[in-house]
């Protein structure tokens, strides 16, 4: 009887080992493939772990088509843009596509949550300062306070309402820009596309917007660096990530120096000026859309306020570099 029990135990252990060997991915059986795209004024790099490269070109073509479609559809200036069509509307009540409705609804939701610090009607201010669609104009003189004040009269997310797929504007002068939300949505859509191809391990990097799923080909977590805002050849920190999104907004990607002062594309909707309290704000969470919006919408707050806000939001983390270069992190950072 003892021998039988001993044999049963040995067999059980062997079975566990066999099952483990079957289910642990062997690195030699898989390959890691990278592809870069330039769309939406951003370099988007995809790294995917696949069994073989069969069908990979079809996947790249599908991703490029998706990015091209989004670049045209959500630009403020492209002839086929739904945003451009909305801003040139003749009626103040307009039916929009389901995706545009979701974007606007999400933008208004966060506008309320952040007390107007995230505002999809910020376009007049971005145009005034020359930061639109990545085609930044050479503004060499800061606009006068009177010019800023006039533009601010048309900036207020509360002038936009949405009911299902119908958008209502309270003023003809109200114009929207979904630039602060579109990348989060496109990350989500690319992720869905990769999922549909049966790819479970990937890293999507679209400028400062990152979506990570699974692990690298060697079985380790994805490693990403958060840029040093004042030294682009180095990183402020490196983190290991899996199954999450990491989005960074910073004053170093799109900016100009006028009379020794830095002006960048992240504006305070209440003042019409660039936010000056931080150099970069990184938000980590499951949802790329939420992380994208919050990294922008929190940018104008004091670093301590940002940390306090994130600490009160389940599942979110943050890494903030303030205007003096000091680092602030949430209690659960990485």
Distance CA 122, CA 143 (A): 16
Residue whose structure tokens are 């602060």: 180
Query: At 41, is the pLDDT very low, low, confident or very high (cuts 50, 70, 90)?
Result: confident
Extract the tokens encoding 283. 């938000």
Residue 322 near residue 280 (C-beta atoms within 8 A): no
Give, for 138, the enclosing helix (H) or strand (E).
none
Q: Which residue has the higher pLDDT, 334 or 230?
A: 230
Extract the tokens encoding 121. 């009607």
Distance CA 177, CA 123 (A): 6
pLDDT digits (tens, 9 = 90+) for 267-293: 999 999 999 999 999 999 999 999 999
Distance CA 97, CA 323 (A): 40
In a 3-state reduction of DSSP, which class is residue 48? strand
Distance CA 121, CA 161 (A): 12
- Return the pLDDT at 65: 96
Distance CA 257, CA 274 (A): 12
What separation in angstroms does the CA of 302 have from each of 1, 276, 323, 327?
Answer: 72, 10, 10, 12
pLDDT digits (tens, 9 = 90+) for 203-252: 999 988 999 999 999 999 999 999 999 998 899 999 999 999 999 999 99
Instruction: Express the helix, strand and coil content of the chain in percent, nearest 5 each.
Output: 35, 25, 35
Residue 75 near residue 240 (C-beta atoms within 8 A): no
Q: Which residues have a Cβ under 8 Å from the Cβ of 74 and sit 6 or more positions away? A: 81, 82, 83, 100, 103, 178, 179, 182
- Return the pLDDT at 260: 85
How many other CB atoms are found less than 10 A from the CB of residue 39? 18
Closest CA to 305 of 152, 115, 122: 115
pLDDT at 24 over 60: no
Q: Which CATH class is domain 221-334?
A: alpha beta
- At 149, give phi and psi (nearest 5°): -60, -40
Segments making up each domain of the chain, as ranges: 30-74+179-220, 90-177, 221-334
In a 3-state reduction of DSSP, which class is residue 248? strand
Say if domain 30-74+179-220 classifies as CATH 3.10.450.50: no
Tell me, yes or no, if the two domains 30-74+179-220 and 90-177 fold the same way. no
Mean confidence (pLDDT) of the chain = 90
pLDDT digits (tens, 9 = 90+) for 46-73: 999 999 888 899 999 999 999 999 999 9
Q: 162-165: long-range contacts at Cβ-Cβ below 8 A with a sequence spacing of 24 or more?
A: 162/101, 162/104, 162/105, 162/108, 164/101, 165/95, 165/96, 165/97, 165/98, 165/101
What separation in angstroms does the CA of 7 have from each of 14, 77, 168?
Answer: 10, 74, 75
pLDDT digits (tens, 9 = 90+) for 123-164: 999 999 999 865 555 678 899 999 999 999 999 999 999 999
Fold for domain 90-177?
Answer: T-fold (1.10.3980)
Rg (CA), the chain: 23
């Amino acid at each position: 009887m003892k021998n039988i029990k001993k044999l049963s135990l040995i067999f059980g252990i062997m079975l566990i080992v066999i099952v483990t060997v079957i289910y642990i991915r062997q690195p030699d059986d898989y390959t890691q493939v990278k592809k870069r795209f330039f769309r939406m004024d951003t370099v988007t790099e995809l790294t995917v772990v696949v069994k073989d490269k069969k069908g990979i070109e079809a996947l790249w073509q599908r991703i490029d088509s998706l990015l091209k479609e989004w670049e045209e559809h959500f630009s403020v200036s492209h002839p086929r843009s739904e945003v451009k069509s909305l801003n040139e509307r003749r009626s103040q009540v307009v039916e929009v596509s389901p995706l545009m409705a979701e974007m606007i609804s999400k933008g208004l939701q966060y506008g309320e949550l952040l007390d107007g610090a995230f505002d999809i009607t910020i376009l007049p201010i971005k145009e005034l300062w020359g930061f639109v669609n990545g085609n930044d104009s050479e503004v060499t003189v800061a606009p006068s306070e009177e010019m800023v004040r006039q533009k601010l009269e048309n900036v207020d997310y509360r002038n936009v309402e949405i009911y299902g797929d119908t958008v209502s504007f309270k003023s003809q002068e109200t114009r929207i820009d979904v630039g602060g939300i579109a990348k989060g949505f496109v990350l989500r859509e690319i992720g869905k596309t990769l999922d549909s191809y049966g790819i479970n391990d990937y890293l999507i990097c679209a400028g400062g917007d990152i979506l990570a799923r699974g692990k690298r080909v060697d079985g380790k977590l994805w490693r990403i660096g958060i840029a040093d805002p004042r030294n682009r050849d180095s990183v402020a920190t490196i983190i290991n990530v899996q199954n999450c999104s990491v989005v960074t907004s910073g004053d170093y990607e799109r900016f100009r120096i006028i009379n020794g002062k830095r002006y960048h594309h992240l504006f305070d909707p209440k003042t019409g000026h660039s936010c000056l309290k931080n150099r970069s704000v990184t938000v980590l969470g499951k949802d790329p859309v939420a992380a994208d919006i919050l990294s922008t919408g929190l940018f104008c707050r004091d670093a301590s306020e940002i940390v306090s806000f994130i600490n009160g939001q389940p599942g979110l983390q943050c890494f903030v570099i303030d205007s003096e270069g000091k680092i602030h992190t949430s209690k659960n950072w990485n």
